[in-house]
Amino acid sequence: MLEANEGTKEIAEEIQRRMDQNPDRTHRIGTFGFIELEDTWGDEATILNTARVSTSNRRLSGPEAFSDKDRALLEHLLAEEHGTPFETVWFRFRFIAPIFVLRQWVKHRISTWNEFSMRYRKPISAFYIPDEKARTVNGFEIMTQEQTDRYTSLLETVNHFYEEEYETICRRIDDLRQRGEIPQKEAGRDPYRARARELLRSAMPVANYSDVYWTVNFRSLLNFFNLRTKETAQYEIRQYALAAYDLFGRAYPLLRSTLERTRHREPSGSA
């Protein structure tokens, strides 16, 4: 069994702390996965106030002040895809996901993306292991338990390789410094250890987890939901999208209920 490195243990402890402190805005996903809706800016009133800027001086203080007319306007804006008012509400998520999931997620480019860097830290020594549901399609087991065990063993070997080689390099650096053959470490990053991390990260598999802050406006988030919560979306990213949708809905119940009504409504002008 792979033993987590110190950085990974710290992240695991932080995940548990955030789950305890913020249970309504956090989810665990898969082997080591996690998502939290850390912060939001704006609300349903922000959307309507923005939409009415050219037609009215009326300003709503918040969704609790909505009349039936206000709720109807919110539904109209969503159904008719009046996009820009929805760009005034923002969300900041933090999520920990396999690198192969990140490669799909980052394609949603109208957002801000800050990812854990293996240049500055050792990688998260945890990787995705598909459970039985993830390995099964229409009742057929695509990847058997025996194959999954071999997959797990291989990924443990690669993670062990990183840890062992990095420690070997660091010991050699320390020895050379003691002998005066390379300069002593100065303030800031150690360029020798940094280069070791840069080189060794190339061996890390896409099943390993990474850590991301994702800041996105609601219009872009809605596009993410539309694409990634579909049953045809890849299983792993769909689990994150469904979790993100649940967290969004808890934070914005009026916007969520309005959105779900518009999904069952024919657009105006349709046959």
Q: For residue 55, is pLDDT > 90?
A: no
Q: Which domains does the chain have, with CATH numbers?
A: 6-42+89-262 (3.30.1360.170)
Identify the sign of the CA torsion 176, 182, 186, 189. Answer: negative
For residues 16-27, give the mean pLDDT.
97
Q: 237-241 contacts: CB < 8 A, separation 24 or more?
A: 237/101, 237/104, 237/105, 239/29, 239/30, 239/33, 240/29, 240/33, 240/35, 240/95, 240/97, 240/101, 240/105
Radius of gyration for the alpha carbons in the chain, expressed in angstroms and rounded: 23
Going by C-alpha positions, the residue among 129, 142, 132 that lies closest to residue 209 is 129
Q: For residue 109, is pLDDT > 50?
A: yes
Q: What pLDDT, in 10s, does the model give residues 164-185?
A: 999 999 999 999 999 999 999 8
For residues 240-266, give the mean pLDDT.
91
Q: For residue 269, is pLDDT > 50?
A: no
Answer for the pair 209, 32: CB distance below 8 angstroms, yes or no. yes
Q: What pLDDT, in 10s, does the model give residues 188-205?
A: 889 999 999 999 999 999
- Catalytic residue numbers, as ranges: 228
